[in-house]
Structures are given as structure tokens and as C-alpha cells.
Structure 1
Amino acid sequence: MTGTPLESSTLVLAPKVVLHDHLDGGLRPATVLDLARRQGYQDLPADDADSLARWFREAADSGSLERYLETFAHTVAVMQTVPALERVARECVEDLAADGVVYAEIRYAPEQHLEAGLTLDEVVEAVLRGFADGEADAARAGRPIVVRCLVTAMRHAARSLEIAELAVRYRDRGVVGFDIAGAEAGYPPTRHLGAFEFMRANNSRFTIHAGEAFGLPSIHEAIAFCGTDRLGHGVRVIDDITLPEGADPADESFEGAVLGDVAGIVRDKRIPLELCPSSNVQTGAVASMAEHPFNVLARLRFRVTVNTDNRLMSDTTMSREFDRLAAQFGYGWSDFERFTVNAMKSAFLHFDQRLALIDDVIKPGYATLIG
């Protein structure tokens, strides 16, 4: 029986799971323009959708995480009202479902959406309504998707405990976890120990942006002191791995690789890595796709997952991330099935729900493609 050729045009057929996708990094350019017009926001750098999309992509290609984060000023500015938040959340779900995503955890920082007078609870409730509407739209379109939410605290601010409390307050209504994000340098995760202790005390899950720009110390703190369930990016764990002499990132085996203590505990404890290949290149976490450690980590059996991070800034989708990885490292359907199962196993959804998606949706979907 012949399977489906793995090509750019067929990758949309693969069932996908995304664990690291920012709501304010995935707006449609046309929506940014429309919301800006409705709200009187006049600081956009372009006045048509194509030019605006190009500006976001080029502005994010600086090789600096700090410069990359500056692009969010425009998207956050137009996400300050209930209708805007509901619309952006709904469209996010519709776009992911159209790309073959069957489960998504979408994150955003409620504290960044208070400028027009909304409360934290009103922000969360608006986003959850948008997600529910998007799920309903996707189901009607024959593309069912399950979407859950992570609420994020900004690591340079002082509201992390308040946001952690928000996560627990809404955990039975669609919020499945907590995160901290923002520039890593100068803002170690240990500044927010109170929030992480609160999450653990309430049997709640969390991930931490770590090992994107700052390296191994950030990863070590996130694991050893904060007790993170997952690593947001975690790409610099490669700095704690000594590869055999002459090894190429595209090799199929890295026999003889030596793992340091940090890399060893990440692999031994099966701590999921929320890798975002295109974004990691844009922010300078890695120099190029050819040098991305994704393949090294995958071949060494770390729990790698594929993610979009910010679809607008990186001009990407999950299908495009798969396509770029396939072109660089020669992956096939079976590889993407493994990465997708990795992600579903690592989701903050309850075990029985994870298992149902793996057994009833993901594995049958890839079996059809593999043939």
C-alpha cells in the first residue's frame, strides 16, 4: 500500500499538536489593521495587510530576542477590548484548525491587556469565549480541534503570583497552566519562586521560557529550583552536550555523545522541550536552521516537540515548521508522528483526554499518511 508523499502541499493533512503558540504573536495582518482602525490606534508601520505582514517578519529577523519582542507592541495595542480579544482568540483557533492542528495550548499575558480598563478576569473570560467560538467554527468546518489556555506572567514585572492565582482560578474552565515569558537576561526564573510554589501547592502545571537566549543557567534554575514541567524553547540545552568529533547536525546518529548534568536530567526526566525552529533562528538562539540542534536532540531521544511560537512574526504555521525540518533533516511521516505524540504526551490536558487524542486522532491520521 502506497502512502501519501510528504510534500509542502500534503503536510496540512498531518494531525498536529502545538504547545507553544502566543496569542499576541499570531494575529492575521488584516485583523491588526481592522482593529487599529476601530480603536484609533495610529502607530502601525504599514497600512495594508501584505506590507504589514512583511514588516513584522523583517522586524523580527534581527537576531536579538529583545528586538524580536518589540514587535509585540503593535499587536498588544489592538488587543485591549473584549470584542478584540474574542475575535483574535476565535481567529487563532480557526487558523490552527485549518492547518491540521488537533490540539493546541495557546498562551498570552493577561497583564498586558488592561490598558482600556479590563480586569484580569475579564481578559481571561473574553479569550476563553473566543476559543470556544473558534472550536465550534472549526467543528462545523469538519476540522475539530481542542484548545486550552496558558496564562503567562511577564518575567520583568511583579505580578507572577497574581497570574498564577488566575491560572488556578480558571483551571476547570479552559486554563491548563502557567508560564513566565519575556527577556531572560537579568530576569531569572527564580525571581518568581512564589508563583511556582503556589502552582505546585495547588497541583497545577507550568512551563517556563528558559534556554532560549540566556543558556544553561536559565534551564538549570527552571528545573532545579522552580520545578518546571516543561521548558519553553530549551534549545540551549545543546550547550551541555559534547558531540563526537566531526558530527554534523543532520546526522542520523550521534553515538558517543556525552551529556552533562543539565542535559542528562532533562533527558532522564523526559522534560519536554518546546522547540520553535523558525523563531529560534530569528531571535538568535541558533545561527541558522542548518545549525539548529533539533535533530541532535531528537536522535538522542530527548522529548522534542515542534512549535510555532509566533505565527505572525515568523510568517509560519505548523505545516511550514514541519516542512522546514523535513527539508533540513530529511524527516518523514513516522518522524512527525513521533514528535506529535511527544507533544500530546506532554500536554497539560488530563491523561485520559491525551490518550484519546493519541489513539483516536493522531495515530489513525498518520497511519493513513504512512500507508
Structure 2
Amino acid sequence: MRNSPNVSPLHKQVTREQVAALPKVVLHDHVDTTGARGEADVEAAVRAGVRALAADGVVYAELRISPELNLDVLPLDKIVAAAERGATSVEGIDARLILTAMRHASHVADVADETLAAYPRGIVVGFDLAGPEDSPAPHAETLEKLRDAYIPVTLHAGAHEGVDSIAEALRLGALRLGHGTRIFEDLTADIDGIGAGPVASWVRDRGIVLEMAPALEVEMGVVDSYEDHPFSLLQQLGFTCTLNPGQSTVSSLTDEMMRLVETFDYGYDELFELTRTAMENAFAPVPQRTAILAQRILPAYDELSGAYNEDASFSQLADPS
């Protein structure tokens, strides 16, 4: 267990300028390659998405692409190779890819097979099943094939549908939940406080990552307003919460952080915790995660904490003991 950074409450005034400059981590963002007519277009779309994240201070990102969008003009392996080139062509950011298949379409097994083929190259780091939150059970064999190859899987669940969709995603091996916000439907409240039902307890106690994107989820109708979003509550209850744009066209990560600051009174220590949580739960190998945390994230926060409080050191929190 790690304590929160020792930043004096007198120095928790958070400015957008400073937040924009802080190193950030994104685990859930989509690149739209609709309309791409060739490899150059796919590469350019991914490069533009990566550049936008880098401009927002993101130092590590996992971008989702849906190869199915371009199968009318390119074979699957060419789409992924072009996306890999786009992801690795921007300096200052470590960008990886998650291949997304739409569960209601006919190419889930094909995208999974391409994930298996690309995974050893190290840019594609996982597989995602998205689309309408119908049961993913028809794809159980495909998901088992990925698990047998030790390829991480994240499933969209708990956004449009409730706890049952989350439970099924867990049974099918999801290590992270795309959105997962409706886990709050498995919470209870009484005079003893807030309790967790069986699904919520499993998600919390096993550290299953919630890839939440509050602004996008408000737009999707998951909750009525940002003030109603359960992000802060779930984090306080011990859930592994990550903050994401979901779609950078809707919101940047700086925007999301500032909304937490303005709505739920987050300070730099809470923003650091969110960033570290995201980095520690990325699908990249541990050595890369550790290096980015130590070399890119901690120095920036140490500089910040030193400016605010000589006794505060975020780097002390890197020790997991």
C-alpha cells in the first residue's frame, strides 16, 4: 500500500497550464480510420491521433483501431502494419495499439488472429471487443484462443448495459473493462455505509481496471451529468479507476483532469495517483512501464512537489513496499 503524496493543502491550487504540462497516460482512446483509401491514409490517421495525444502531454498511450473499417480496401495485415508505422512515428510518446473487433460484425476471429500475428512485434499489445453490448459469448472460443496465447484482452462492458454485461466480460477473461462505469449498480447503501455486491467485489478486490471516460460517458447517456459520474466514489471505494478521453474528439485528458479538479476537488496528488495507476495497468511489459514511470512521470511530479513543499517527494512512492 502506498500513501498519497505529501503536498500541503495550502498548495493544491491546480492550474490548467500546469496540468497540460504534466506527463499523462491513456489506456482507452479510439482512432477513426473511416474513409482511408490505402495504407498511407491509415498511417496518417494513426499518426495524427498520436500527435494529438503527445501535444496534450501524454507520454504513454494505447490507441484502439478497428481494422474492419478498412477491409474493403486493404487486407488486414496491411492495415495493422500501417497503423504500427503511424504509432511509432511520433517522438516523445510511447504509443501502442489495441486491435478492436466489433462483436456484432463478422470479423472478430480474423482480428483476433491478426492480434496473435502482430503481438510479437511489440506494438500491438492487446485485443478489444467493442460494439453494442450484446453477449460476447458467441466469441468465447476466440477469446479463449487469445488467453491461451497470453494476450491481454479488454472488453467494452458496463456502459450501455449493466452489471450482467460486466459479469460476462469477467467470465470470458477480461483483464480491463472498457468503461465499466455501471459497476455502481452493484453497490448498496445502508446505515453501515456503502457495500459491494458479488460482481463489484470481484472487480474491486482483483484490481480489474475500469477504463472510464467520464465526458464521453455523459455524452453517451451513461450518467446525466459530470457531477453524477461515479468516478470519484468508485476510486474512494478502492476500485482501480483510470481516466481516459475515450475519444479525443470529445475530450482531451487535460480536459478530463480539469473536470475532476473543478467538480470533485482533485489536487496534484490525486492526479498523480491516477497517472501511476494507468501506467501500472498498461498492457506493455513491466520493464517499459517501470522505465516510463521512473524516467518520464516521477521527475515531473518531483519537480512539482519540490516547488510546492520541500518535504514532498512523489518518487518515494515508487517503492511498492
Whole-Å separation in 2 of the counterparts to 1:80 and 1:329: 44
Answer yes or no: is 1:296 the counterpart of 2:304: no
Report the CA distance between 1:165 and its aligned residue: 1.1
Would you say 1:180 and 2:137 are equivalent positions?
Answer: no
Structure 2 unaligned spans of 5+: 1-6, 307-321
Report what 1:239 is aligned to.
185
Q: d(CA) in 1 for partners of 2:199 and 2:255?
A: 31
Q: Deviation at 1:257?
A: 1.1
Preserved contact between residue 88 and residue 94 of structure 2 (Cα < 8 Å): no
Stretch deviating more after TM superposition (214-223 or 159-168): 159-168
Amino acid at match of 1:119: P
- 1:359 is matched with which residue? 294
Q: CA deviation at 1:130?
A: 1.0
- Asked whether 1:191 is paired with 2:138, we answer yes
Q: Deviations over 1:85-128 (max 9, x none)?
A: 11111111111111110100000111111222x00001001111
Pairs aligned (count) = 297
- Tell me, yes or no, if structure 1 residue 123 matches structure 2 residue 79: yes
- Percent identical: 39
Is 1:160 equivalent to 2:117 in the alignment? no
Distance 1:163 1:322 in 2: 33
SS state of the match for residue 78, structure 2? helix
Give the whole-Å Cα distance in 2 for the aligned partners of 1:13 and 1:222: 36
Q: Secondary structure of the residue that 2:178 maps to in structure 1?
A: strand
Which protein has the bigger strand share? 2
Give the equivalent residue in structure 1 for 2:155. 208
How far apart, CA to CA, are the structure 2 residues paired with 1:241 and 1:88? Answer: 40
Q: Secondary structure at the match of 1:105?
A: strand
TM-score, normalised on structure 2?
0.89
The RMSD of aligned alpha carbons is 1.6
Structure 1 residue ranges, 4+ long, deviating more than 4 angstroms after superposition: 1-5
- Residue 97 in structure 1 maps to residue 34 in structure 2: no
Structure-to-structure mapping, 1:1-371, within 5 angstroms: 5-24=13-32, 76=34, 78-116=35-73, 118-134=74-90, 139=91, 144-173=92-121, 174-184=123-133, 187-224=134-171, 226-244=172-190, 256-312=193-249, 314=250, 316-371=251-306
Q: What's the offset of the Cα at 1:364? A: 1.9
CA displacement 1:297-341 (0-9 Å, x = unmatched): 0111110000001111x1x11100101111110000110111111
Structure-1 separation of matches of 2:297 and 2:241: 17
Deviations 1:19-43 (A, max 9, x none): 000011xxxxxxxxxxxxxxxxxxx
Q: What TM-score do you get using the length of structure 1 for normalisation? A: 0.77
Letter in 2 for 1:122: K
Gaps of 5+ in 1: 25-74, 246-254
Q: Residue in 1 aligned with 2:314?
A: none
